[in-house]
A and B are shown apart, each in its own frame.
Chain A
Amino acid sequence: MIRRVPLQDIDLEDHSFRISEELESDMLRRSLLEVGQLNPVILLRRQAHRLTVVAGFRRLTALRGMAAADAPATVCADGEVSALQAFRLALWDNLSHRRLSTLELGRSLHVLHATCGLTAEILIADYLPLLGLAPSRQVLAAYLALNHLHPVLRRLVQEGRIAVRTAERLAGYTAAVQEKMSSVLGRIRLSASLQRQFLDAVEELAQMQDARLIQELEAPEVLAVLDEPERSPFQKGERIMDVLGRRLYPRLSAARARFEADREEMGFPSGVRLTPDPFFETSRLRVEFEVSSAAHLRAVAAELHRASLETGLERLFKID
């Protein structure tokens, strides 16, 4: 039965059943001003004088902002409906008219698990497909982990800048590391696969040097890249990956840089590509070029011959 409930009786701080990530909405406030509240909120009476919000967080937040005294509501008593029954009302209410965001999917699964007490098996079999997610334990773990993310990282997930799998790994870090991660990831842009490589590299470096993850994220080279004002977040992402690569593979990176410098110095004709063994495991060098005529071939061959007389040619085959 629908009745008007004073807002002061509603506990808006109890987020046990919350699904919506964003509670503030200008359009909703305008809608309430123009045409009033179209649908009642759903409340659950869990204690004598307090009502928990099951569905309608955004409407109630807007009404409170408008200094409204009460709101039309359907009130369920604790004994009449279980937490699960109540939350299913909210879930279907949302699913019937909109797509849940990544974080809202995580919230919904968290409520079903933590508040409604559903097992992982039931969530995987029944609720992941309902929410449009693949029914696997890994997917469930990833979405549940979203609920333990630092607020800035949550925002990055919401904006689509951090992949769910990345967020799951981030959620496993301490609050301090998450905060530091948020200060780096908030300023760079990486694809999902580069995000994985980024975390791999930072973890690997920390283990190699018996250091804390935070120390790796505070390395002067990393901070210098983040502070470069003229670079875009994408460019900073590329530069950060370069920095981490050099720190992980100092000798290999130096060998690659030296090879490039020597190749430049040799003055090979443009269009001739020299490719060393990717990790210099052997001294083999692939020399490739394309010609379109006999004259072109003669010209390239002559230039190659000239380059081969350079005294530094042997350096290309020597790896230190």
Chain B
Amino acid sequence: MFLYRPEKLFVTEESWEDASARAMVDRLPGVPVQTIPAAESVLAGLAQAPDPIAQGKRVLVLARHRGSFLNPCPGAGAEMCCNYHVVNYAANCPMDCSYCVLQSFLDNPALVVFSNIDDLLREVVGRLSASPNRLFRIGAGDFSDPLALDHITCYSRSLVPLFAGRPNGVLELKTKSAAVSNLEGLHHGGRTVVSWSVNSRRVIHAEETGTADLHERIVAARRCQEWGYRIGFHFDPLVCYPGWQADYKSAVEEIFRKVDPAKVQWISLGSLRFTARLRDVMRRRFPRSRISYGEFVPGHHGKWRYFRPIRREMYASMISWIRRCAPEVFIYLCMEHREVWRESMLRVPRDAGELSDLMDSLASGCPPDSPRQ
């Protein structure tokens, strides 16, 4: 499996004061280090590269994060939203998926890890303590892959035990990596869900450069199960191409041949979606990729999605294949409106509130009040 190692390390002046930054430098012996005034100092150099995004992945910047670390998921406010929070300790990702939204989203193409992890931990503790009666499901992996850099950051070793002692917090580490070694032996208290973004072998091979292959992800999931972690899977983005049915069915079956369905916390499904800006970036950076070509129509939030019957067909098929292998597992749709839920699944949560409650009860380890689909 690909383990990320930058070609060059940039450390901001103030980050040198953080023990985590110095530790990361020590974990990268032989990598040239340069001190810079601010993370933005690398922008001019990257802008001159033919592909600044690709070049940005070759350098690692250690910098302090100024704003809030913990934020509502971008899906918050949608008609059917699971009321998730995201915590970000890095911006950008060493992997290079053709459909990655970060390509059109981040101003700085450099891979930046925030060195003020203590501030992040304090903010999480503060938010959880301030609302002790509310359950926070917090995902890491929105602006980066939380485990792809963990051999350098080792942040999982701070975050996982922190959540172990918090009854109203559940951490989800959402990854396409197989680098789970740091999770072994940690006191997780059942409060961390390790989940994998998975796809068909063909999509992984053609579109997800630098990620672990499907087999590696499944093996990593099984190891985490053995260490007592709850696990999840996210089939997102589902991509429609000739032969998708056989490929995705095979991926589902392969997963459940290796992992225990009873210990799978949840599975989400989402279809490929992109803004016009992201589509342009995809076509420029990945001219051989064909996934942005198809029967896409403009939908909510300015995103293009497959025509609804195509999504419905994909979701319904996936659900039936998953049900055959794991009849009890909780399945939900990501960023879809209730009509698509109704068309695709047996039962639709009344509203976003019920979906959130359902997810909370699963996350907290209690059986949900409502029957599973």
Q: Which residues of B contact A250 (CB under 8 A)?
A: 295
> Which B residues from 298 to 312 make CB contacts under 8 A with A?
298-300, 307-310
> Which A residues from 280 to 320 make CB contacts under 8 A with B?
280-283, 319-320
A27 within 8 A of B: no
Chain A contact patch, size range: 10 to 19
Known: A207-B290, A210-B290. A279 touches B297 (CB 8 A): yes
In the assembly, what is the distance between CA of A172 and CA of B307, in Å?
32
Q: Would you call B339 and A252 a contact (CB within 8 A)?
A: no
Q: Which residues of A contact B299 (CB under 8 A)?
A: 279, 281
Q: Would you call B309 and A319 a contact (CB within 8 A)?
A: yes
In the assembly, what is the distance between CA of A182 and CA of B300, in Å?
39
Q: Name A279's contact: one of B290, B293, B294, B298 (CB within 8 Å).
A: B298
Q: Which residues of A contact B337 (CB under 8 A)?
A: 281-282
Output the nearest chain B residue to A209 by Cβ-Cβ distance.
Answer: B293
Q: Would you call B290 and A281 a contact (CB within 8 A)?
A: no
A249 within 8 A of B: yes
B-contact bits for A249-266, CB 8 A (1 contact / 0 none): 111100100000000000
Least CB distance, A265 to chain B, in whole angstroms: 21
Q: Would you call A320 and B309 a contact (CB within 8 A)?
A: yes
Output the nearest chain A residue to B306 by Cβ-Cβ distance.
Answer: A251
In the assembly, what is the distance between CA of A282 and CA of B297, in Å?
12
In the assembly, what is the distance between CA of A250 and CA of B307, in Å?
10
Among B298, B308, B339, residue most surrounded by chain A Cβ atoms (within 10 Å) = B308
- For B, the interface residue count at a CB cutoff of 8 angstroms equals 14
> Which A residues from 193 to 247 make CB contacts under 8 A with B?
204, 207-208, 210
Q: Which residues of A contact B300 (CB under 8 A)?
A: 281
Q: Would you call B290 and A251 a contact (CB within 8 A)?
A: no
Known: A279-B298, A281-B299, A283-B339. A252 touches B307 (CB 8 A): yes
Q: Would you call A208 and B294 a contact (CB within 8 A)?
A: yes
> Which B residues from 267 to 294 make CB contacts under 8 A with A?
290, 293-294
In the assembly, what is the distance between CA of A255 and CA of B295, in Å?
13
> Which B residues from 346 to 364 make CB contacts under 8 A with A?
none
Q: Would you call B293 and A251 a contact (CB within 8 A)?
A: no
Q: Which residues of B contact A319 (CB under 8 A)?
A: 308-309
Output the nearest chain A residue to B290 by Cβ-Cβ distance.
Answer: A207
Output the nearest chain A residue to B342 by Cβ-Cβ distance.
Answer: A283
Least CB distance, B286 to chain A, in whole angstroms: 12
Q: Would you call A251 and B309 a contact (CB within 8 A)?
A: yes
Output the nearest chain A residue to B310 by Cβ-Cβ distance.
Answer: A251
Q: Which residues of A contact B309 (CB under 8 A)?
A: 251, 255, 319-320
Q: Which residues of A contact B310 (CB under 8 A)?
A: 251
Least CB distance, A197 to chain B, in whole angstroms: 15
Among A208, A252, A281, A319, residue most surrounded by chain B Cβ atoms (within 10 Å) = A281
Q: Which residues of A contact B290 (CB under 8 A)?
A: 207-208, 210
Least CB distance, A258 to chain B, in whole angstroms: 11
In the assembly, what is the distance between CA of A208 and CA of B298, in Å?
18
Q: Which residues of B contact A208 (CB under 8 A)?
A: 290, 293-294
Q: Which residues of A contact B307 (CB under 8 A)?
A: 249, 251-252, 255, 279-280
In the assembly, what is the distance between CA of A283 and CA of B338, in Å?
11
Q: Which residues of A contact B293 (CB under 8 A)?
A: 204, 207-208
> Which B residues from 97 to 126 make CB contacts under 8 A with A?
none
Q: Would you call A251 and B295 a contact (CB within 8 A)?
A: yes
In the assembly, what is the distance between CA of A207 and CA of B283, in Å?
11
Among A204, A210, A279, A320, residue most surrounded by chain B Cβ atoms (within 10 Å) = A279
Least CB distance, A160 to chain B, in whole angstroms: 30
B-contact bits for A118-142, CB 8 A (1 contact / 0 none): 0000000000000000000000000
Known: A207-B290, A210-B290. A249 touches B295 (CB 8 A): yes
Q: Which residues of A contact B298 (CB under 8 A)?
A: 279
Least CB distance, B82 to chain A, in whole angstroms: 21
Q: Would you call B339 and A282 a contact (CB within 8 A)?
A: yes
In the assembly, what is the distance between CA of A227 and CA of B337, in Å?
45
In the assembly, what is the distance between CA of A204 and CA of B308, in Å?
20
Output the nearest chain B residue to A204 by Cβ-Cβ distance.
Answer: B293
Least CB distance, B329 to chain A, in whole angstroms: 28
Q: Which residues of B contact A252 (CB under 8 A)?
A: 295, 297, 307
Output the nearest chain A residue to B298 by Cβ-Cβ distance.
Answer: A279
In the assembly, what is the distance between CA of A320 and CA of B313, in Å?
10
Q: Which residues of B contact A282 (CB under 8 A)?
A: 337, 339
> Which B residues from 3 to 36 make CB contacts under 8 A with A?
none
Output the nearest chain B residue to A250 by Cβ-Cβ distance.
Answer: B295
Q: Which residues of B contact A255 (CB under 8 A)?
A: 307, 309
Q: Which residues of B contact A281 (CB under 8 A)?
A: 297, 299-300, 308, 337
Q: Which residues of B contact A251 (CB under 8 A)?
A: 295, 307, 309-310
Least CB distance, B285 to chain A, in whole angstroms: 15
Q: Which residues of A contact B295 (CB under 8 A)?
A: 248-252
Among A248, A250, A282, residue most surrounded by chain B Cβ atoms (within 10 Å) = A282
Least CB distance, B344 to chain A, in whole angstroms: 13
In the assembly, what is the distance between CA of A208 and CA of B294, in Å?
6
Q: Which residues of B contact A249 (CB under 8 A)?
A: 295, 297, 307
Q: Which residues of A contact B297 (CB under 8 A)?
A: 249, 252, 279, 281
Q: Which residues of A contact B294 (CB under 8 A)?
A: 208
In the assembly, what is the distance between CA of A197 and CA of B118, in Å?
53
B-contact bits for A140-173, CB 8 A (1 contact / 0 none): 0000000000000000000000000000000000
A-B contact list, 15 entries, CB within 8 Å: A208-B290, A208-B294, A249-B297, A250-B295, A251-B310, A252-B295, A252-B297, A255-B307, A279-B297, A279-B308, A280-B307, A281-B299, A281-B300, A282-B337, A319-B309
Question: 5 closest pairs, A vs B, by CB?
Answer: A279-B297, A208-B293, A207-B293, A252-B307, A251-B307
Apart from A280-B308, A281-B337, A319-B308, list 12 A-B contacts with CB within 8 A.
Answer: A207-B293, A248-B295, A251-B309, A252-B295, A252-B307, A279-B297, A279-B299, A280-B307, A281-B297, A281-B300, A319-B309, A320-B309
